[in-house]
Structures are given as C-alpha cells and as structure tokens.
Amino acid sequence: MTRRTIIVKRDVQAKGKANAAAERERLGRRGTLVINILSSPGAGKTTLLEATARHFAGRRTMAVLVGDLETDRDAQRLAPLVPTVQLTTGGACHLELPLVQQGLTALGDPAVDFLFIENVGNLVCPASHDLAEHLRVVLVSTTEGDDKPGKYPKMFRTSQAMVITKTDLLPYLPFSVDAVTEDARQIQPQLDVLSLSALHESGVSDWCEYLEQQYQRQLAAYHEPAAK
C-alpha cells in the first residue's frame, strides 16, 4: 500500500509539472512574463509591488495575484494601483497552480506584460511549487540577517534572482550585502542579485529595468517583435 501511494503521488506530481509547463508556454507565447515573488513574512513583497506598479504606470501593463492564509490586506493595498486578486489558502503555507489559475480567470485572464504572483510569506514550502512562472525572485530583507540562504537552500537554489530589501535600514543592522550574496551564490552561482529600499524608492528603477530586460528576452525567445 505504501508503494502504491508513492506511485500515485508521482503521477500527480508529473501531471502538475506538465500543467505548469503548458501554462507557462501559453502565457509566454502571448507576451506575458510571469514572476513568482517569494520571501519570509514581512520582507516587503507588497511594498515592492506597489513601487513597481507606480514605476510602470502608463508604460507597461501588469496584474497581481496575491496569496495569504487569511485576510485580503495585501489586495486592499495593491488594488488602487493595479488589477489584483487575493488568493486565500485557508491555512496552506504556499500557493498551488490551480488556485493561481482560478485567480487568473477571476482577473479576466488579461494579456498584461507582467503577471506578478505574490506567494504566501514563507521561505520553505513555496519553493516546491511551480506556478508556471518564467522568473522566480526571492526577497531577503536586511533585517532578517545575512545567514538566510544557507538555512533555506531550496528557496535560493530554485530562484533566478535575489532582491535584498530594506537597504535604508543597513546603518542600524549587523547585515552584510557581500556576505548574503556570497552565501546565496554558493547555492546558486547564476543568481542575479539586486538591492533596494522600496519604501524610500531607492533602487526601484534598477529592479524595473531588470524586469524589462527579462521581458524583452522572453519576447525574443518566442520570436515575436518587441512591442511598444
């Protein structure tokens, strides 16, 4: 019976993987870059998305799916700026693709340039779930300490970019940008590293420029001419 259970689990995982790949292909082909944003609770995902929405206003279209166990607090913050749907997991520690797809349908499946998925605040469970993203970004707040990558390696191993947030607090904290970068790159040598303070809007334009590059690269990969 144990053996049968394992096989069932494998089938489910294989099907989930295929679904994520198909959804990624569909969204990429029509020109939407999907970005899965992950971090500890309170590292600044929503604040970064607010700043990102302000930066791209009138230049790029975007929408946000935001995940939490309970409440629609993050959606309330983002909705004045950008089309947003709150996904509540009802206790689960991460988002899964079917819930993301329901959220996308609720948004009207818009052909935006950027679709951001703000995952549940958690450095463990969300690392194991493919949400059809093209880009996985992990945020590390300066206030969390520079020892986090080695302690939560899967999150950093599966990410393409690390964004160091709350750099305005660096003068008051025992945190080294070099140390956290070195620690993360021991796990994932190709990791792109950015740092910013979204609250003080410092480094946000570099972050948006990075997103723009990723967007253009994806358009090129699908052999479509760059829009706009």
Phi, psi of 151 (to 5 degrees): -85, -20
Please name the residues in contact with 60: beta carbons below 8 A apart, sequence gap of 6 or more: 113, 114, 212, 215, 228
The reply to whether 130 sits near a copy of itself by the rule CB under 8 A is no
- Between 41 and 110, name the residue whose CB sits nearer to a copy of itself: 41
24/27 Cα distance (integer angstroms): 5
Rounded least distance, CB 62 to a copy of itself, Å: 23
Do residues 163 and 194 make contact, with C-beta atoms less than 8 angstroms apart?
yes
List 28, 83, 121, 203, residue binding a copy of itself (CB under 8 A): 121
Tell me if 70 contacts a copy of itself by CB under 8 A. yes
When binding is defined by CB under 8 A, the residue of 101, 143, 176, 202 that contacts a copy of itself is 143
Among 119, 122, 181, 195, binds a copy of itself (CB under 8 A): 122
Q: Least distance to a copy of itself from the beta carbon of 44, Å?
A: 9
Nearer to a copy of itself, 51 or 120 (CB): 120
Residues 59, 130, 207, 88: is their CA dihedral positive or negative?
positive
Give the nearest distance from C-beta 106 to a copy of itself in angstroms: 20
Q: How many whole angstroms separate alpha carbon 165 and alpha carbon 171?
A: 14
169 in contact with a copy of itself (CB under 8 A): yes
Residues in the chain: 228
Among 41, 98, 108, 110, binds a copy of itself (CB under 8 A): 41
Our finding on whether 170 is near a copy of itself (CB under 8 A) is no
Q: Is residue 69 involved in binding a copy of itself (CB under 8 A)?
A: yes
129 forms part of the interface with a copy of itself (CB under 8 A): no
Regarding 16 and contact with a copy of itself (CB under 8 A), the answer is: no
Size of the site for a copy of itself (CB under 8 A): 35
Question: Which of 107, 153, 202, 219: binder of a copy of itself (CB under 8 A)?
Answer: 153
128 Cβ neighbours under 8 A, 6+ residues apart: 94, 154
Which class for 204: exposed (0-12), middle (13-18), buried (19 or more C-beta within 10 A)? Answer: buried
DSSP string, 23-37: HHHHHHHTT-EEEEE
At residue 24, what is the residue type?
R
Q: Are 138 and 131 in contact (CB under 8 A)?
A: no
**Where along the sequence are the contacts to a copy of itself (CB under 8 A)?**
40-43, 68-71, 73, 91, 93, 120-125, 141, 143-145, 147-148, 150-154, 166, 168-169, 172-174, 199
